[in-house]
Copies of this chain bind each other. A is one copy, B any other.
Amino acid sequence: MKAQLGGDEGKHKFVLKTPKGTRDYSPKQMAIRERVFNVIITCFKRHGAEVIDTPVFELKETLTGKYGEDSKLIYDLKDQGGELLSLRYDLTVPFARYLAMNKITNIKRYHIAKDFDIAGQFDPMIPDAECLKIVHEILSDLQLGDFLIKVNDRRILDGMFAVCGVPDSKFRTICSSVDKLDKTPWEEVRSEMVGEKGLSPEAADHIGEYVQLHGGLDLIEGLLQDPKLSQNKLAKEGLGDMKLLFEYLTLFGITGKISFDLSLARGLDYYTGVIFEAVLLQQENDHVEEPVSVGSGAGGGRYDGLVGMFDPKGRKVPCVGVSIGIERIFSILEQRVEASEEKIRTTETQVLVASAQKKLLEERLKLISELWDAGIKAEVLYKKNPKLLNQLQYCEDTGIPLVAIVGEQELKDGVVKLRVVATREEVNVRRESLVEEIRMRTSQP
């Protein structure tokens, strides 16, 4: 660091950057984020969720052993007076820790505008179906274009591994390999299974046949008749529940965008039942081609064992949850805004308090104070004697729709000149009616 600082007359020479893997959000980016969060939180509240929050870091041991092969990505903190801490990696493990710590057996909650979970012992597949309905609502409301929600079940996967001849001890690691199928061709995944993970080529080929399958109720019915799978207790349970899930999704009217897909695995170790992932699709240009995936917009599943890992007596609390892919969604919308040259306002200011003449700072401050106290969103330029042109230009630049202009004559007459920026229309409004007039002219239709 000393070398970096150098001697340039005391001026600092360190690199001005954010840490690797992090970024700042500018006002324009935050305006887009706020739209996204509004849609998501509105949806979570529509489904009756409470909200909780947990610290950004946890005891290291709280996070250890919950994620499987993904856990390399956890940030550790330095020893803090005898406590080993790590930054949270997702919101699911802290949520499970919270439930166990507070002995909560029943809750529907969301967590920082992106994770929604239902915990509790309920009749099968009803909360699971609601999670898929939520994903469907959010992705529709955000108008991101077409999407497909892939669904599978860990029990079906495990049953499939068993009938394909995968040894029990390799279930999780083979599951991790299958998880790569969304980005990697089967041949590569197969050679990882056989080469790196020591699976027999026959077992791998057998898996290869199953993971090509995707469809709806027909496929579920078909697999329930599959001579091998139907003999496996786990797979049979999973397929039975998948059938029930599809019945509920039919009632919700959303099966058109749901695909039961045997290649969906999801990497995290803690899932125990239904798993799902929403793939965002984009039509390539105007060609008559298959839409291509532009990434995952949401994902989740059932994790019935995680809370029990924290409970001193191992008491289980069944949970199912969904996490929204905020960053992916946000970057798609950001690109779209850039491409469309749509003008995004970064403030909600209704009116700029201005003056045409000099020496009216005091009058501007008095008027804006009245407006603020009445709940009007108002700004004033921080200059003693700003030019009217500069004040109007500020409105053009920032999208402020109205200007309230005070001048000697208006003050004498007890009025304020209200100017509509878009039309340049000007009208004198009695001072006591100004708040009402501004509200009327800026109310959302």
Residues of A within 8 A of B (CB): 1, 10-20, 22-27, 30-31, 33-34, 45-59, 61-62, 75-78, 80-81, 83, 85, 87, 97-98, 100-102, 107, 109, 118, 120, 122-123, 126-127, 129-130, 133, 137, 248, 251-253, 309-314, 346-349, 361-362, 365-366, 369, 372-373, 375-380, 382-384
- B48–A83 CB distance below 8 A: no
- A19–B253 CB distance below 8 A: no
Beyond A27-B51, A47-B377, A122-B383, 4 extra complex contacts between A and B, CB < 8 Å: A11-B314, A12-B309, A76-B77, A123-B384
List of B residues within 8 angstroms of A361 by Cβ: 123, 126
List of B residues within 8 angstroms of A122 by Cβ: 382-383
Closest beta carbon of chain B to A97's beta carbon, Å = 7
* Contact A76 to B75, CB < 8 A, known contacts A17-B59, A27-B109, A83-B19: no
For the complex of A and B, list the 7 residue pairs with the smallest distance between their C-beta atoms, beginning with the closest: A27-B50, A122-B382, A22-B55, A48-B379, A25-B53, A126-B382, A48-B349
Of listed A18, A45, A127, residue having the most chain B CB within 10 A: A18
- A52–B77 CB distance below 8 A: no
- A12–B310 CB distance below 8 A: yes
- B314–A252 CB distance below 8 A: no
List of B residues within 8 angstroms of A137 by Cβ: 372-373
- A251–B362 CB distance below 8 A: yes
Closest beta carbon of chain B to A56's beta carbon, Å = 6
- B57–A19 CB distance below 8 A: yes
Of listed A46, A85, A310, residue having the most chain B CB within 10 A: A46
- B80–A51 CB distance below 8 A: no
Copies of this chain in its oligomeric complex: 2
- A12–B312 CB distance below 8 A: yes
Partner of A52, one of B25, B62, B372: B25
Partner of A101, one of B16, B59, B62: B16
Which residue on chain B has the smallest CB distance to residue A121? B382
- A46–B372 CB distance below 8 A: yes
List of B residues within 8 angstroms of A50 by Cβ: 27, 30-31, 346-347
- B75–A75 CB distance below 8 A: no
- C-alpha gap A153/B145 in the complex (Å): 55
List of B residues within 8 angstroms of A362 by Cβ: 251
- C-alpha gap A52/B20 in the complex (Å): 19
* Contact A347 to B30, CB < 8 A, known contacts A19-B80, A81-B20, A382-B123: no
Partner of A61, one of B14, B27, B53, B100: B14
Partner of A24, one of B13, B55, B85: B55
- B312–A11 CB distance below 8 A: yes
- A47–B310 CB distance below 8 A: no
- A377–B120 CB distance below 8 A: no
- CB pairs A–B below 8 angstroms (27 shown): A1-B61, A12-B310, A12-B314, A13-B312, A16-B97, A16-B100, A18-B59, A19-B83, A20-B81, A22-B55, A22-B57, A23-B55, A24-B54, A24-B98, A24-B101, A25-B53, A30-B51, A30-B53, A46-B372, A46-B377, A47-B372, A50-B347, A76-B78, A122-B382, A129-B365, A130-B382, A248-B365
